[in-house]
Structure 1
Amino acid sequence: MDERVREHAEVLVDWSARVEAGDDVVVSVAEDAHELGVAVAEALGERGANVTALYGSSEVSRAYLKGVEARVEGEADDDDAETGADAAVEADDFDADPEVERAMFEAADAYLRIGGGRNTTATADVGRKTRQAYAKARQGVREARMDTDWVSTVHPTRSLAQQAGMAYEEYRDFVYDAVLRDWESLAEEMAQMKEILDAGEEVRIVTERDGAPDTDVTMSIAGRTAVNSAASVAYDSHNLPSGEVFTAPYDTEGEAFFDVPMTIDATRVRNVHLVFEGGQVVDFAAEAGEDALADILDTDPGARRLGELGIGMNRGIDRFTDSILFDEKMGDTVHLAVGRAYDACLSEGESGNDSAVHVDMITDVSADSRMEVDGEVVQRNGTFRWEEGFEE
Structure 2
Amino acid sequence: MDDRIHAHAETLVDWSARIEAGDDVVVKVSEGAHELGIAVAEELGARDANVVTLYGSDEIDRAYLRNHSGEFDENPPHELALYENADAVLSLGGGHNTMATADVPSEKRQEKSRATEGIREARMDTDWVSTVHPTRSLAQQAGMSFEAYQEFVYDAVLRDWEALAEEMAKMKELLDEGSEVRLVKENTDLTMSIEGRTAVNSAASVVYDSHNLPSGEVFTAPDATAGEVFFDVPMTINSQRVRDVHLEFDDGEVVDYSAGQNEAVIEEVLETDEGAKRLGELGIGMNRGIDQFTDSILFDEKMGDTVHLALGRAYTSNFPEGTEDEANESAVHVDMITEMGEDSRMEVDGEVVQRNGTFRWEDRFEE
Secondary structure in 2 matching 1:10: helix
Secondary structure in 2 matching 1:349: coil
Q: 2-side partners of 1:218 and 1:390: how far apart?
A: 22
Q: 1-side partners of 2:76 and 2:342: how far apart?
A: 48
Q: Which residue of 158, 162, 174 corresponds with 2:152?
A: 174
Matched with 2:212 is: 239
Q: 1-side partners of 2:13 and 2:351: how far apart?
A: 39
Cα distance per residue 1:74-107 (max 9 Å; x no partner):
xxxxxxxxxxxxxxx3xxx111021111101111
Equivalence map 1:223-302=2 (5 Å): 223-302=196-275
Q: Aligned-pair distance for 1:246?
A: 0.2
Q: 2-side partners of 1:303 and 1:106: how far apart?
A: 26
In structure 2, give the amino acid aligned to 1:386: W
In structure 1, give the amino acid aligned to 2:270: L
Matched with 2:73 is: 95
Cα distance per residue 1:336-385 (max 9 Å; x no partner):
11100000001223221110000011001121100000000000001001
Query: Normalised by the size of structure 2, how large is the TM-score?
Result: 0.99
In structure 2, give the amino acid aligned to 1:371: M
Secondary structure in 2 matching 1:296: helix
Matched with 2:53 is: 53
Q: 2-side partners of 1:135 and 1:10: how far apart?
A: 32
Equivalence map 1:289-368=2 (5 Å): 289-350=262-323, 351=325, 352-368=327-343
Secondary structure in 2 matching 1:372: strand
Q: 1-side partners of 2:103 and 2:249: how far apart?
A: 31
In structure 2, give the amino acid aligned to 1:11: T
Matched with 1:379 is: 354
For structure 2, the residue ranges without an aligned partner over 5 or more in a row are: none
Matched with 2:8 is: 8
Q: 2-side partners of 1:159 and 1:17: how far apart?
A: 27
| Match status 1:149 vs 2:127 | yes
Matched with 1:30 is: 30
Q: 2-side partners of 1:220 and 1:173: how far apart?
A: 39
Q: 1-side partners of 2:287 and 2:224: how far apart?
A: 28
Matched with 1:216 is: 189
Matched with 1:204 is: 182
Matched with 2:162 is: 184
Matched with 1:136 is: 114
In structure 1, give the amino acid aligned to 2:120: R
Cα distance per residue 1:138-194 (max 9 Å; x no partner):
011101100000000000000000110100000000000000000000000000000
For structure 1, the residue ranges without an aligned partner over 5 or more in a row are: 73-88, 209-213
Larger Rg: 1
Q: 1-side partners of 2:274 and 2:67: how far apart?
A: 29
Q: 1-side partners of 2:107 and 2:302: how far apart?
A: 29
Query: Normalised by the size of structure 1, how large is the TM-score?
Result: 0.92
In structure 1, give the amino acid aligned to 2:107: K
The percent identity for this pair of structures is 71
Cα distance per residue 1:237-261 (max 9 Å; x no partner):
0000000000000000000000000
Q: 1-side partners of 2:35 and 2:141: how far apart?
A: 20
In structure 2, give the amino acid aligned to 1:322: D
Cα distance per residue 1:26-63 (max 9 Å; x no partner):
00000010000000000000011111000011111111
| Match status 1:65 vs 2:65 | yes
Q: 2-side partners of 1:329 and 1:385: how far apart?
A: 18
Q: Which residue of 159, 163, 183 corresponds with 2:137?
A: 159
Secondary structure in 2 matching 1:51: strand
In structure 1, give the amino acid aligned to 2:59: E
RMSD: 0.6
In structure 1, give the amino acid aligned to 2:27: V
Cα distance per residue 1:207-246 (max 9 Å; x no partner):
12xxxxx100000000000000000000000000000000
Secondary structure in 1 matching 2:52: strand
Matched with 1:86 is: none
Equivalence map 1:97-136=2 (5 Å): 97-136=75-114
Secondary structure in 1 matching 2:292: coil
